Structure 1
Amino acid sequence: MKIKSVCVFCGARDSVDKEYIDLAAECGKMMSSKSIDLVYGGGRTGMMGAVSKAVTDTGGKVVGIYPKLLDDLEPLNTNLDNTIFVKSMFERKELMIEKSDAFLILPGGFGTLDEIFEVVTLKILKQHDKPIIICNYNNFWQSLIDCCEEIINKKFARTHARDTYEIADTLEDVFVKLGY
């Protein structure tokens, strides 16, 4: 199946180093150049804002799924093709999963961790069979990857759990793994 929409999970804080904002912007440009729609959390700050702005600025389509409870923490991006308002973070994840053909994880914080574990767990439970790509830019996620390996090695998860996601070190690798 051709990937037409990718849900990008990433950080929303403006305080991160510029290299991460630039990574998100480059990701957005690459998505748009391949006619891949962005599905994301709807915020306008940090990496989330950078990826959505880059997709929009280069003519791509963006769907934001935004819980109103974030109004004071993560301002809404009002420059989207489609904004869907939801009541909870759980509902946000449900819709992002439903509306995406694949998942791309860029560097992020605790919200991003929550999203990673949600899509991986649901894939283990055979609730979806969509690609999950973790972009391990500058080894950002290496300790998490190592932790997941330890969980499997200590038999807290089946060995096939490692087959639910792929690791890419660069954005170029990400899009190769997505079939582009």
Structure 2
Amino acid sequence: MTDISVCVYCGSRDGSDPAYAEAAETLGRALADESWRLVYGAGDVGLMGRVARSAQDSGGETFGVIPKHLLDVEVGKRDLSTFVVTETMHERKKVMLMNANAVILLPGGAGSLDEFFEVLTWAQLGLHDKPVILLNVAGYWNPLLALLDHVIDQGFAEASLRAFWEPAENVADCVAKLRTALGR
């Protein structure tokens, strides 16, 4: 078993830009190449399925966590190295984060945003100090980054909030930043 696990939050859909799917597949291969275990939402659809299949096809270890009510919707991927079924979404998020050394946010929807904001809030409250990378594929997260700047500019957070995540423009940049953050 690898000693580094990376939680990847991402969409259960592919999105409209083929760059998102390409980045998910490239990330899965990169995690396997680094011998880092993928921790993710255990779905076999959208970007989730792509990152997991790519990691598996490259010989990587996979750890999937899915709540029982999503087993059919997200097509629970049962051929993972580790497959965990939880009772609730909150339990899923907790198990994913607690089994990871770092977090990457690929493009995604409301669920991915929920996961990111929970991880961000927990970091702000001192509940974890894991590196969080926003993989800004094709500028997907630019509106989110602008919103976070707006929150800070309007006095609802200190500028120090920016220290809890780091953007990366591509998978190579993301992996390099994680290597540094994880002391690899």
TM-score, scaled to structure 1: 0.95
Contact 2:14 2:20 in 1 (8 A): no
Match runs of 1:93-172 below 5 Å? 93-172=93-172
1:88 and 2:92 aligned:
no
Pairwise CA distance, 1:19: 2.7
Once superposed, which parts of structure 1, at least 4 consecutive aligned residues long, lie more than 6 Å away? none
**Matched residue type, 1:176:** A
Contact 1:3 1:102 in 2 (8 A): no
**Matched residue type, 2:11:** G
Which stretch shifts more, 69-78 or 130-139? 69-78
Q: What do you get for the CA RMSD once the two structures are aligned?
A: 1.4
Partner of 1:49: 49
Pairwise CA distance, 1:14: 4.6
Which stretch shifts more, 68-77 or 146-155? 68-77
- 2:78 and 2:15 map into 1 onto residues whose CA distance is 21
Partner of 2:72: 72
- Structure 1, unmatched stretches of 5+, are none
1:5 and 2:5 aligned:
yes
**Over residues 2-54 of structure 1, what are the superposed CA-to-partner deviations in whole Å (9 max), with x where a residue is unaligned?**
97110000001156443322210110001100101000000000000000001
Partner of 1:37: 37
Secondary structure in 1 aligned to 2:47? helix
| Percent of pairs with identical residues | 38
- 2:33 and 2:72 map into 1 onto residues whose CA distance is 33
- Structure 2, unmatched stretches of 5+, are none
Secondary structure in 2 aligned to 1:43? coil
- 2:155 and 2:8 map into 1 onto residues whose CA distance is 30
